[in-house]
Structure 1
Amino acid sequence: MPRPGGAPVVKGPVVPPVRVALAEAVHALPRDPGRLAYEPKFDGHRMVLFRGAAGEVVLQARSGRLVTAAFPDLAEAARALPDGTVLDGEVVVWSGGRTDFAAVQGRAAATPGRAPALARRLPASYAAFDVLAADGADLRPAPYVRRRERLEALLSGLGPPIQAVPMTTDPDVARDWFETLPAVGVEGLVVKRLDEPYRAGRRAWRKLRHTDTRDAVVIGFTGPRERPSALVLVLPDDDAPVVSGPLAPRLRAEAGAALRGLPEPVGGGTATAVGVGEVAYRSVPPALEAEVAQGTTRHTVTTVLRLKGGGERGG
C-alpha cells in the first residue's frame, strides 16, 4: 500500500522513518591517533536515502518527513544504487562555487508541481557520509570503519550527484580542511570513532564549527508583518522550523522592512517556541537569511543577531 503522498513503501531491514545519528558540539579538534575519522560538515539539509529491494526510492528528512517529491533529481539518481541500500547524508545546492543553504531550503519547500522546474534550475547534490544498509543487510551495528569501506565501494562508480564526503584519519589534514574549506560553504568538521556503530538518535559523533553563530533561512514570522515579534527559521541539518527569541526593537523594524519586499504571506503553520509551546506563524518564501546564535542551556533559544540579504528562489 502506498504511503501518504504517493510515496512507495520500502521493504527491508531499515525502513522509513529512521532516527538519525547526531553530533555534540566541541570547541577544539579532538585528537586520538588511529581511532578517529574526520569529515567536512556541509551546510545543507540532512537526508536519508532509501533504495528498496523492489527498486523503490524514498527520501526522508531528519524530522522523519518524506521529501521524495521535492527532490525528483536525487530520487532519479538514486535508482542507480543497488537494491537494499540506505544512505545517510546531506543535500546541498552549489551556487557560485559554494553551497547555498537558502537554495536548499527553497528546494525542500517546493510543491510537487514546482519541484521539477526547481530541480533543473537549482540541481541538488547528495553528500553521503554513512551507509545504514547494503544488499538488504542492516549495517548500523557495524563499526564506522567498515561502514565507510562499504560506502566507498557502493559509490565508487556512481559519480555526481551522489558522492561520498571526503574522510581522513589524519588530524593535520582535518585541521587544513577546517581552515580552508569555509570558502566553499563547509561549516566545520564531524568527528567519528572508527570502532563505533551507528547510534540512531544519540549524540555520539562530535562536530567542530568555526563559530557559535549559524546562518538560517526565514520561512515565517509571528506578530504583525510590519514589526514581527519573532522569526520562524530553518537551520542547516534540520528541516524542523524553530521560533526565534523575541526580536530586539531594531531588528523588528529591519525585519518588517525586509518582509515588505516579499510576496504577501499565504498560509502558515505551527512551530515550537521555547517557554511558550506551539505557536502559529505566517509563512513567507525562503528568500531571507538571518545570522543566529543558539544557547547551550537545557532549553535552547535561537537568537537572531542580524538579517542577511538573499534573492527569492521560489518554493
Structure 2
Amino acid sequence: MDLPVMPPVRPMLAKSVKGIPDPDKFGGLSFEPKWDGFRCIVFRDGDEVELTSRNTKPLTRYFPEVVDAIREQLPERCVLDGELFVALEDRLEFEVLQERIHPARSRVDMLAEKTPACFVAFDLLALGDTSYVDRPFSERRAAMEESLSGLTGPCYLTRTTTDTGQAEEWFHQFEGAGLDGVVAKPLTATYRQNARTMLKIKHERTADVVVAGYREHKTSTPERPLLGSLLLGLYDDGKLQHVGVSASFSEKRRAELIAELQPLVVPIEEHPWGEWADWAIANPDRVPGTQSRWSAGKDLSFTPLRPDLVLEVAYDHMEGRRFRHTAQFRRWRTDRDPESCGYEQLEEPVSYELDRILLAGHEAGPGGDHHG
C-alpha cells in the first residue's frame, strides 16, 4: 500500500456545544448527521483495503463485506474518514454492531451475512496521489461529492447542509432513526488529527432513577474505599430493571459517597436483583456484575443497596431499554418515591426512516442538499 496519507491516522474529533452554533462565528459551518457506529478510516490502494478504528486498531478482519463493498464502490486509491454502522428495520443498532468484534472467523462471516454493516463517508484525507488534509473542508467536501457520487449502499456519502434551520430539523428528526445528533464542521478548517476541530450537538435529557448498587473504583483500597459508579434502575411492571450507570465523581466525592451509602448495603438475597444470581451469566447485557465479551476480564461485581434513593441524571439517548452512555449525575431527588421511577417518564423519539437520511437528494446529484 502506497498512499499520500498512510496509517496510522487518528481521526479528527469534536467538542460538545449546546444548540446549533452560529456559522458566522466560525467563518461558515457545514452540518451533517452524527452517526452512531464505529469511527473508521478507510485506506484503499487498488485491491488493498485497510480499515482502522478511532484508536488506530485494525478493523479489517471484522467487516469482510464492507471491504468487498469498498473495492466495488469507492475510488481506486483513497483515504476516507467515516463510520461503520448496522441498520435493522430503519434504525441504527449499535449493540448489533458490537457483536462483530469477535475472535472467531466463522462467527464474523455468519454475522457479515446475517447483519451486514455499511460505511458512510464524511471526510476526505486523500484521493489518487493527492493529500487533502491541508485543504479546507469546503474543498474536501466538493472533492467527495465529485468522486463519491451515486452511492446507494452499502457505501454512502453523508448528507450535509449549510442551512441552520435544516440542521435544527435534522437534530430533532434523525434521532428516530437511531442517529446521535448533529455535527458541525468549519468550512475553512483543515483536517487535524486527534484535534477537537468539529462541533457536536447531542441530545441531553433527564430522568429520575433508583440507585440500586455501586461498584468500587479501580483505585479503591480497604484503607481508603472509593466509589467507582452507581448502578441505576427503573421500575417496569413492579420489577426493578438495570438501566445503566452514573460515574465521573471527584476523588473526594467518591470517598464521601461510599461512606454515605453503607447504611443501605443489603445482602444480595434481599435485593431486587438477587434472583439473577443463578442465571445472570446467561444474560450479561441486562444484568450488572456479570462478565461479557466487552468486560475484558474486569471485575464487574457490585455492592447491592436497598433501593431507597432517587437521583436525577442526564442522558443522551436510549439503546433498547438502557442508557446508551454513562448517565451524568445531576442531583438527589429526596422528594421522589423510588417506585414511581419508571420507563414511562422517558421521552421517545419520533420514528424516522433511515433511507430518507442515506438516500435523500440522491436523484438530485451528489451530496443532495449540501448547500441547504
Whole-angstrom CA distance in 2 between matches of 1:106 and 1:267: 9
Specify the alignment match of 1:204 in structure 2: 197
1:18 aligns with 2:9: yes
Rg larger for: 2
**1:238-290 Cα distance to aligned partner (Å, 9 max, x none):** xxxxxx942348659659838433379587875xxxxxxxx8457xxxx9954
Instruction: Choose the corresponding residue for 2:215, options 229, 232, 251.
Output: 229
Work out the number of aligned pairs and report it: 256
Residue of structure 2 equivalent to 1:63: 55
Q: Secondary structure in 2 aligned to 1:207?
A: strand
Q: For 2:178, give the aligned amino acid.
A: G
Q: What's the CA shift for 1:112?
A: 2.3
The answer to whether structure 1 residue 122 and structure 2 residue 115 are counterparts is yes
Q: Distance in 1 between matches of 2:294 and 2:200?
A: 33
Paired residue for 1:111?
A: 104
2 CA distance for matches of 1:121 and 1:207? 32
2:281 matched to 1:260?
Answer: yes
* Structure-2 change in CA distance of 1:37 and 1:259 (3 Å): farther
User: Structure 2: which amino acid aligns with 1:66?
Assistant: P
Tell me how far apart the structure 1 counterparts of residues 274 and 187 of structure 2 sit (CA, whole Å).
Answer: 45
Deviation at 1:199, TM superposition (A): 1.1
Q: CA deviation at 1:65?
A: 0.8
Alignment of 1:1-315 (within 5 A): 10-33=1-24, 35-52=28-45, 54-80=46-72, 81-109=74-102, 111-211=104-204, 229=215, 245-248=228-231, 254=273, 257=276, 259-262=280-283, 265=291, 280-281=298-299, 290-293=323-326
5+ unaligned residues in a row in structure 2: which ranges? 207-212, 218-226, 234-241, 243-267, 285-289, 301-319, 330-340, 344-372
CA distance in 2, matches of 1:71, 1:256: 38
CA contact (8 A) 2:85 2:94 kept: yes
Q: Distance in 1 between matches of 2:203 and 2:94?
A: 17
Give the secondary structure class of the aligned counterpart of 1:191.
Answer: strand
> Quick check: 1:155–1:162 contact (8 Å CA) kept in 2?
no
After TM superposition, give the deviation of residue 144 of structure 1 in Å: 0.2
Q: What is the distance in 2 between the residues matched to 1:255 and 1:70? A: 37
Contact 1:24 1:205 in 2 (8 A): yes
Check conservation: 2:75, 2:148, Cα contact below 8 A.
no
| Structure 2 CA distance for aligned equivalents of residues 187 and 124 of structure 1 | 18
* Change beyond 3 A, Cα 1:245–1:292: farther
User: 1:113: how far off?
Assistant: 2.4
- Counterpart for residue 312 of structure 1: none
Tell me: CA distance 1:123–1:293, structure 2 relative to 1, closer, same or farther (3 Å). Answer: same
More strand by share: 1
Computed over aligned residues only, the root mean square deviation of the Cα atoms, in angstroms, reads 3.6
Q: C-alpha distance in 2, partners of 1:255/1:248? A: 14
Q: Percent of pairs identical after alignment?
A: 32
Q: Report the CA distance shift for 1:212/1:61 in structure 2 as closer, same or farther (over 3 A).
A: farther
Q: CA deviation at 1:137?
A: 1.7
Structure 2: how far apart are the matches of 1:290 and 1:255?
A: 22
> Which amino acid letter does the alignment assign opposite residue 191 of structure 2?
Y
Question: Aligned equivalents of 2:144 and 2:129: distance in 1?
Answer: 14
Residues 146-176 of structure 1 show CA distances to partners (whole Å, capped at 9, x for unaligned) of: 1011112221134301111100000011111
- The answer to whether the Cα contact below 8 Å between 2:122 and 2:158 also exists between their aligned partners in 1 is yes
Q: TM-score, with normalisation over the residues of structure 2?
A: 0.60
Structure 1 residue 90: Cα displacement: 1.0
Contact 2:52 2:58 in 1 (8 A): yes
Q: Are 1:91 and 1:126, in contact at CA under 8 Å, matched by a contact in 2?
A: yes
| Alignment check: 8 A CA contact 2:31 2:183 kept | yes
Does structure 1 retain, via aligned residues, the 8 Å contact 2:214–2:231? no
Deviation string 1:208-267 (CA, Å, 9 cap, x unpaired) is 001168xxxxxxxxxxxxx88379xxxxxxxxxxxx942348659659838433379587
CA distance in 1 between partners of 2:193 and 2:299 (Å): 31
Alpha-carbon shift at residue 145 of structure 1 (Å): 0.6
Q: TM-score, normalised by structure 1?
A: 0.70
SS in structure 1 of the partner of residue 283 of structure 2:
coil
Measured after TM superposition, the shift of residue 133 of structure 1 is 0.7
Higher fraction of helix? 2
**Secondary structure in 1 matching 2:11:** coil
Q: 1:122 to 1:135 in 2, by over 3 A?
A: same
> CA offsets per residue over residues 180-223 of structure 1, 9 Å max, x none?
1111011110001101101111001000001168xxxxxxxxxx
Distance 2:56 2:324 in 1: 26
Unaligned 5+ runs, structure 1: 1-9, 214-226, 232-243, 271-278, 297-304, 308-315
* Residue identity in the other structure for 1:293: T
Task: Check conservation: 1:131, 1:147, Cα contact below 8 A.
Answer: yes
Question: Contact 1:40 / 1:177 at 8 angstroms: preserved in 2?
Answer: yes
